[in-house]
């Protein structure tokens, strides 16, 4: 786009249009005859040639009649023959390029309606298809009413001008585009005014709007201060000389950063030779500059690399034995400049190379290209000092026979490396010492399992000299040569792949004895080569110990197999081993038991108990319940003991099924219980027997003693009255003794009559019979007798006994009733411990002091009350009857409050009740 | 009542023994003063009632073992509490028809019992017993 601010813009406006001209109107020539033409005819005649020369035609348009008249050359302009135009406005309009037609029509109508002149350009298409540009200027003539009556004007062919103009526009556009795409800014500096016009891409390139840099002063300010003076000097000189300029400077962008600006241009001078315009282009070359910088740096780097290269690059003539070329490094490494080396000619070898190394100089024949030969030689520096160099040579030039005549090579100073190597040798020495100091045998084996090296330990092991062993293969050292090789190959291959391989091998010493050696192979490096490092150890004695251990284990196993019980070895419960006995005992087979948690052999309820024993290391026998595979349970006797085993502490546990023994034990306990019961029974019987003795000694001896005494008295009586008295007393004593004997007989009957018949008795029925018997007394005392036998209403018992028991107890209660209150007597039964029938008979009678009388309560002829009817037989009888039937009787009483008798009918029943 | 005659107490439920023993003692001419108690309780009551009376307290008590209500053993238990309060020393003979060694041992081991006497007791035996203590 043609925009150049100030002066550029001013140029633009006028360029587009045809110049208005006030020149006299050219004569018009009408297609058809015009009425008005007569007035102007003369003037026309003068003008026409001029107009024709200028390719200008005249027209007259009668707006009202719509007739158009042309001068002759208008036809030419329109590319028409004189007759081809019919003179109508419509035809004229149709001749206009369709793209412009509308614009022309509008402009003309506008001019007519407003009565204004018009000035327009449009295209025509000639009949031959070519396009022509027309410039038309029309002036309106108004009628009396002020309306447009006519339009008259000129028509000019401006095609050429238009083409130039368009071309210029094109170039401008193209240039702008190029400038934009290249990042080049175009400027036009008007020196007198100081104004600068910039191309549109300035914004894009520098970030400024064209107006921001509209003045030269601004531009100056943006040049980097350091570059400003130099740039100005250059530009001033160019301005003075009116010469093109080409300058670089740093320029500040709107972003604040500087870019490298490449500014080129020229000055335009006025007629006096003073520069008035400065046209040029600026481009940001930062990127290019930095690339150049890199290239520069790279080349510097190359240089420094070359100079720093740790070697001399050379070309050597093999035939003449002289240096043809050497690089600069020669100065550094040898102290000779390259040309000095070249100048040495065939003196190079004798002068520079150490005489001991002459024979080592590489010889070349017809080796193929790319062959590299390495060598190590000493070369003498200019200062006389020899240095070690490593050379690497490759063929460079050959003679007609293909023989290498020149080589190119590089020599590196390896003196340091040599020194290090010698140090390495020293350390190798110390390594060797270490190697030999180790008591374990160390072997270095190559891939074929040949001994490359071995230490003193290894020699000692075999009792053989090192020299004699090196070169032997490992399998040759074996005591027997069968089957080892394959194994050794496998192991060494695995070791080479990075594994650590261990194995045992019986080896033979020089003296023929054999020993077991434990080998451990691993991959290692030996003087830079991959080798197998094998360590060996004589484990014969260890093995023997292990064998012995195994044997003892075997014995142990045999022993435990022979054992009756189950024996298990376990480590914290996990069974490591066990004997057949344990399988027999538990129903699991050996494989199932091994690895099983031994606690699974214990019934769940007992596991905590057993675990506690294991944990505490309890080493005495204890019982627990075991569980078999089939879930059945059995009584176990367990005897565990901690023992050391293979370096651990494990537990040997013996299981014994003691179910049978336990049963026997239970039987014993049961029998013991029975025996105890029997003993108790016997004791009771003994007590009863003693009681009987007492009865005999007390109750029977005394009346008999009385009789003896009385008989004595009788014999010595002096009077008959006296005799009669004694006789009566004798009779009384006799009857007392008889009564006593009868009572005793009753008791004896009870004691002997164990097999007395038992009946199913209802307590209530029996009690009713007894109440009937004592009814008179009950009524007399207004006694309240009640009962509750609901808990145990029935008993299997001798009827006579139960009646006797009830009768005596009720009689007792009535007999010892409290004088101040009516007797309340209650009978009841209950079940003690679910099986014993217990009768209780309570009263509210006199009660008795148990601490005093308890011991004689149930004894014969004992009374505790001054009661006329106390005979001391009732409770004695009851007690005997109860005890005879395996029962027990006891009493509870509080003096003055009442007494309760209890009878447990079957407490000691042993014969099945 | 001669003051030098000892007072004898017979504690026994056996009426015939009471009679014969009483006659036998009197026949010894050693004393006429024989007190008779049917049981231990009556004897204890008498002792308590005459606790400081030297003239009425017995010098000898012939105590039966086997008696209703309060027997000989029970009497001895209570007597232990009375003994020191009594106005004079009392000699107690345990008298029983029992030849049960347990009875004899038990009686002899009792500190208040001077001897165990087996019934029947002859006149000579009474003299011996009464003279021994006197």
A45: confidence class by pLDDT, cuts 50, 70, 90 = low
What are A565-600's pLDDT values in tens digits?
A: 788 888 888 888 888 888 888 889 888 888 888 888
Give pLDDT, residue A11: 38
Lowest mean pLDDT among A210-214, A867-871, A884-888, B87-91: A867-871
- A782 by Cβ neighbours in 10 Å (0-12 / 13-18 / 19+) ranks as exposed
Give pLDDT, residue A6: 38
A573 C-beta neighbours (distance < 10 Å), count: 18
Dist. CA A773–CA A231, nearest whole Å? 162
pLDDT of A12 strictly over 70: no
pLDDT of A911 strictly over 80: no
Q: Indicate whether this complex's ipTM tops 0.90.
A: no
Mutate to test the interface with B, among A694, A697, A707, A871 (most CBs of B within 10 A): A697
Q: How do beta strands B8-11 and B34-37 pair?
A: parallel
What are A626-664's pLDDT values in tens digits?
A: 999 998 988 888 888 887 766 667 888 888 888 877 788
Q: What are phi and psi of A143, to 5 degrees?
A: -90, -170
Interface contact flag, B98 A870, Cβ < 8 Å: no
Q: What is the pLDDT of chain A when averaged over all its residues?
A: 78
A871 inside 8 A of chain B by CB:
no
**Residue A609 half-sphere exposure toward CB, CA atoms < 13 A:** 12
Nearest to A348 by CA among A399, A411, A287, A295: A411
Chain B neighbors of A694, CB-CB under 8 A: 98, 100
Dist. CA B96–CA B120, nearest whole Å? 8
- Looking at residue A904, the DSSP 8-state letter turns out to be E
pLDDT of A452 strictly over 60: yes
Chain A neighbors of B10, CB-CB under 8 A: none
Q: Report the DSSP beta bridge partners of residue A404.
A: A398
Arithmetic mean of pLDDT, A293-297: 59
A29: confidence class by pLDDT, cuts 50, 70, 90 = very low
Chain A neighbors of B16, CB-CB under 8 A: 703, 706, 709-710, 729, 732-733
A560: confidence class by pLDDT, cuts 50, 70, 90 = low
Q: Evaluate whether A9 touches A190 at the Cβ level (below 8 Å).
A: no
Distance from CA of B39 to the nearest CA of A (A): 10
What are B107-128's pLDDT values in tens digits?
A: 999 999 999 998 888 888 999 9
B9: confidence class by pLDDT, cuts 50, 70, 90 = very high
Chain A neighbors of B74, CB-CB under 8 A: 852
CA nearest A734 in B: which residue? B16
B65 inside 8 A of chain A by CB:
yes
Dist. CA A104–CA A107, nearest whole Å? 5
Q: Evaluate whether A147 touches A129 at the Cβ level (below 8 Å).
A: no
Give pLDDT, residue A830: 93
Q: What percent of chain A stands above pLDDT 90?
A: 7
Dist. CA A568–CA A83, nearest whole Å? 141
Give pLDDT, residue A913: 37
pLDDT of A685 strictly over 90: no
Q: What are phi and psi of A497, to 5 degrees?
A: -85, 5
Interface contact flag, A866 B17, Cβ < 8 Å: no
Interface contact flag, A713 B23, Cβ < 8 Å: yes
Q: Report the DSSP beta bridge partners of residue A388.
A: A378
Interface contact flag, B69 A732, Cβ < 8 Å: no
pLDDT of A21 strictly over 90: no
For chain A, state the CA radius of gyration: 76
Size of interface A-B (CB pairs under 8 A): 63
Give this prediction's pTM: 0.37
CA distances A170 to A13, A123, A162, Å, are 17, 19, 12
Give the range with max mean pLDDT: A13-27, A88-102, A700-714, B74-88. Answer: B74-88
Using CB atoms, pick whichever of A703, A704, A713 lies closest to residue B20: A713
What is the SS3 assignment for A326-394?
ECCHHHHHHCCCHHHHHHCHHHHHHHHECHHHHHHCCCCCCCCCCCCEEEEEEEECCCCCEEEEEEEEE
Lowest mean pLDDT among A88-97, A278-287, A780-789: A278-287
Helix locations, B28-96, DSSP H: 40-49, 72-82
Dist. CA B16–CA A897, nearest whole Å? 36
Chain B neighbors of A858, CB-CB under 8 A: none
Give pLDDT, residue B60: 93
Q: What percent of chain A stands above pLDDT 70?
A: 81
Chain A neighbors of B69, CB-CB under 8 A: 863-866
A180 C-beta neighbours (distance < 10 Å), count: 16
pLDDT of A26 strictly over 50: no
Interface contact flag, B69 A864, Cβ < 8 Å: yes
Q: Which residues of A215-233 are buried (b: 16+ CB within 10 A; e: fewer)?
A: ebeebeebbeeebeeebee
Give pLDDT, residue B99: 81
Residue A496 is encoded by which pair of tokens?
Answer: 């080479």
Nearest to A349 by CA among A384, A320, A315: A320
Arithmetic mean of pLDDT, A672-676: 82
pLDDT of B133 strictly over 80: no
Chain A neighbors of B120, CB-CB under 8 A: 705-706, 708-709
What are A455-473's pLDDT values in tens digits?
A: 887 888 888 888 888 888 8
Interface contact flag, A710 B20, Cβ < 8 Å: yes
A145 C-beta neighbours (distance < 10 Å), count: 6
What are A511-535's pLDDT values in tens digits?
A: 888 888 888 888 777 776 778 888 8
Chain B neighbors of A732, CB-CB under 8 A: 16
Q: What is the pLDDT of chain B when averaged over all its residues?
A: 87
- A574 by Cβ neighbours in 10 Å (0-12 / 13-18 / 19+) ranks as middle
Chain B neighbors of A852, CB-CB under 8 A: 70, 74
pLDDT of A865 strictly over 70: no
Interface contact flag, A865 B69, Cβ < 8 Å: yes
pLDDT of A700 strictly over 70: yes
What are A318-352's pLDDT values in tens digits?
A: 888 899 888 777 887 888 988 898 898 888 888 89
Dist. CA A336–CA A382, nearest whole Å? 6
pLDDT of A787 strictly over 90: yes
Sheet holding A373-380, edge to edge: A322-326, A312-317, A404-413, A386-398, A373-380
Residue B12 is encoded by which pair of tokens?
Answer: 């026994």
Q: What are phi and psi of A211, to 5 degrees?
A: -70, -30
Give pLDDT, residue A47: 61
pLDDT of A437 strictly over 90: no
Give pLDDT, residue A827: 95
Distance from CA of B76 to the nearest CA of A (A): 12
Q: List own/partner pairs for A226-229 with CB under 8 A and 24 or more apart.
A: A226/A250
Using CB atoms, pick whichever of B23, B69, B99 lies closest to residue A863: B69
A865 inside 8 A of chain B by CB:
yes
Nearest to A822 by CA among A847, A795, A843: A843
Using CB atoms, pick whichever of B16, B74, B103 lies closest to residue A852: B74
What are A765-777's pLDDT values in tens digits?
A: 999 988 988 888 8
Chain A neighbors of B23, CB-CB under 8 A: 713
pLDDT of A436 strictly over 90: no
B79 inside 8 A of chain A by CB:
no
Give pLDDT, residue A825: 95
Nearest to A389 by CA among A452, A298, A463, A326: A326
What are A64-100's pLDDT values in tens digits?
A: 888 888 877 788 888 887 777 777 888 888 888 888 8
CA nearest B64 in A: which residue? A698
What are A735-773's pLDDT values in tens digits?
A: 878 877 887 777 777 777 667 788 899 999 999 988 988
Assign A735 to helix, strand or coil.
helix
Element holding B108 (H helix, E strand): helix B101-109
Mutate to test the interface with B, among A709, A735, A854, A862 (most CBs of B within 10 A): A709
Q: Evaluate whether A377 touches A389 at the Cβ level (below 8 Å).
A: yes
Dist. CA B97–CA B65, nearest whole Å? 9
């Amino acid at each position: 786009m043609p925009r150049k601010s100030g002066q550029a813009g001013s140029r633009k406006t006028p360029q587009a249009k045809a110049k208005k001209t006030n020149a006299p109107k050219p004569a018009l020539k009408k297609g058809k005859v015009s009425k008005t033409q007569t007035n102007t005819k003369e003037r026309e005649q003068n003008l026409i040639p001029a107009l024709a020369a200028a390719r200008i035609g005249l027209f007259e348009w009668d707006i009202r009649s719509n007739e158009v008249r042309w001068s002759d050359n208008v036809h030419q302009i329109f590319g028409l023959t004189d007759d081809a135009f019919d003179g109508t406005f419509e035809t004229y309009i149709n001749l206009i390029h369709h793209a412009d037609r509308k614009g022309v029509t509008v402009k003309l109508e506008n001019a007519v309606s407003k009565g204004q002149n018009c000035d327009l350009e449009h295209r025509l298409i000639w009949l031959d298809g070519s396009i022509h540009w027309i410039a038309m200027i029309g002036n309106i003539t108004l009628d009396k009413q002020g309306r447009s009556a006519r339009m008259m004007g000129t028509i000019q062919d401006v095609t050429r001008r238009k083409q130039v103009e368009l071309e210029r526009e094109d170039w401008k556009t193209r240039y702008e585009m190029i400038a934009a795409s290249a990042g080049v800014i175009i400027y036009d500096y008007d020196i007198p005014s100081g104004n600068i016009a910039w191309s549109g891409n300035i914004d894009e390139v520098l970030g400024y709007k064209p107006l921001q840099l509209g003045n030269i002063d601004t531009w100056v300010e943006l040049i980097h201060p350091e570059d400003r003076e130099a740039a100005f000097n250059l530009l001033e000189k160019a301005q003075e000389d009116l010469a093109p300029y080409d300058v670089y400077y740093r320029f500040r962008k709107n972003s604040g950063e500087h870019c490298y600006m490449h500014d080129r241009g020229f000055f335009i001078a006025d007629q006096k030779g003073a520069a008035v315009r400065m046209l040029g282009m600026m481009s940001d070359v930062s990127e290019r500059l930095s690339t150049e910088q890199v290239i520069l740096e790279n080349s510097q780097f190359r240089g420094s690399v070359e100079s720093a290269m740790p070697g001399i690059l050379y070309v050597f003539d093999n035939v003449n034995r002289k240096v043809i070329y050497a690089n600069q490094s020669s100065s550094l490494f040898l102290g000779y400049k390259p040309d000095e080396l070249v100048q040495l000619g065939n003196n190079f070898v004798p002068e520079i190379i150490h005489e001991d190394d002459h024979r080592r100089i590489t010889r070349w024949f017809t080796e193929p290209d790319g062959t590299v030969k390495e060598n190590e030689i000493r070369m003498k520096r200019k200062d006389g000092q020899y240095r070690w160099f490593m050379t690497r040579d490759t063929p460079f030039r050959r003679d007609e026979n293909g023989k290498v005549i020149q080589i190119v090579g590089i020599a590196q100073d390896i003196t340091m490396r040599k020194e290090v190597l010698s140090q390495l040798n020293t350390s190798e020495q110390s390594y060797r010492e270490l190697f030999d100091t180790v008591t374990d045998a160390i072997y270095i084996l190559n891939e074929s399992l040949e001994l490359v090296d071995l230490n003193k330990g290894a020699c000692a092991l075999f009792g053989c000299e090192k020299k004699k062993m090196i070169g032997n293969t490992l399998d040759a050292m074996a005591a027997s040569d069968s089957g080892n090789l394959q194994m050794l190959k496998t192991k060494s291959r695995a070791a080479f792949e990075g594994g650590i391989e261990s194995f045992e091998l019986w080896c033979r010493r020089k003296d023929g004895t054999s020993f077991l050696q434990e080998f451990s192979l691993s991959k290692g490096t030996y003087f830079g080569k991959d080798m197998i490092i094998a360590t060996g150890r004589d484990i014969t004695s260890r093995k023997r110990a292990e064998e012995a251990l195994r044997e003892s284990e075997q014995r142990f196993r045999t022993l435990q197999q022979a054992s009756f019980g189950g024996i298990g070895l376990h480590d914290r419960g996990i069974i490591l081993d066990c004997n057949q006995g344990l399988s027999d005992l538990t129903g699991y087979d050996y494989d199932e038991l091994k690895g099983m948690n031994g606690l699974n052999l214990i019934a769940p309820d007992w596991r905590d108990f057993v675990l506690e024993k294991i944990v505490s290391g309890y080493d005495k026998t204890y019982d627990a319940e075991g569980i078999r595979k089939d879930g059945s349970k059995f009584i176990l006797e367990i005897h565990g003991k901690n023992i050391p085993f293979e370096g651990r502490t494990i537990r040997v546990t013996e299981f014994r099924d003691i179910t049978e023994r336990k049963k026997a034990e239970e039987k014993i306990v049961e029998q013991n219980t029975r025996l105890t019961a029997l003993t108790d029974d016997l004791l009771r019987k003994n007590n009863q027997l003693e009681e009987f003795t007492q009865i005999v000694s007390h109750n029977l001896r005394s009346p008999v003693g009385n009789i003896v005494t009385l008989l004595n008295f009788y014999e010595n009586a002096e009077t008959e009255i006296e005799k009669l008295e004694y006789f009566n007393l004798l009779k009384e004593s006799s009857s007392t003794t008889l009564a006593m004997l009868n009572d005793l007989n009753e008791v004896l009957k009870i004691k002997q009559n164990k097999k007395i018949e038992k009946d199913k008795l209802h307590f209530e029925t029996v009690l009713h019979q007894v109440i009937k018997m004592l009814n008179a007394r009950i009524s007399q005392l207004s006694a309240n007798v009640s009962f509750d036998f609901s808990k145990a209403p029935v008993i299997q018992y001798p009827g006579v006994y139960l009646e006797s028991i009830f009768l005596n107890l009720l009689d007792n209660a009535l007999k010892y009733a409290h004088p101040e209150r009516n007797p309340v007597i209650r009978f009841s039964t209950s079940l003690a411990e679910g099986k014993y029938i217990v009768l209780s008979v309570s009263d509210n009678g006199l009660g008795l002091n148990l601490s005093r009388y308890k011991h004689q309560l149930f004894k014969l002829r004992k009374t505790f009350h001054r009661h006329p009817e106390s005979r001391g037989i009732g409770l004695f009888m009851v007690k005997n009857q109860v005890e005879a039937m395996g029962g027990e009787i006891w009493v509870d009483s509080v003096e003055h409050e009442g007494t309760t008798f209890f009878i447990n009918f079957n407490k000691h029943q042993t014969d099945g009740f | 009542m001669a003051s030098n005659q000892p007072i004898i107490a017979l504690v026994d439920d056996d009426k015939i023994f009471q009679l014969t023993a009483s006659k036998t003692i009197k026949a010894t001419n050693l004393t006429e003063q024989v007190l008779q108690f049917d049981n231990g309780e009556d004897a204890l009551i008498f002792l308590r009632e005459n606790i400081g009376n030297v003239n009425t307290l017995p010098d000898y008590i012939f105590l039966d073992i086997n008696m209703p209500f309060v027997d000989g053993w029970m009497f001895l238990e209570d007597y232990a509490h009375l003994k020191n309060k009594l106005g004079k020393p009392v000699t107690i003979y345990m008298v029983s028809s029992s030849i049960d060694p347990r009875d004899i041992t038990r009686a002899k081991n009792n500190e208040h019992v001077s001897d165990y006497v087996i019934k029947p007791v002859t006149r000579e035996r009474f003299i011996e017993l009464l003279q021994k203590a006197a």
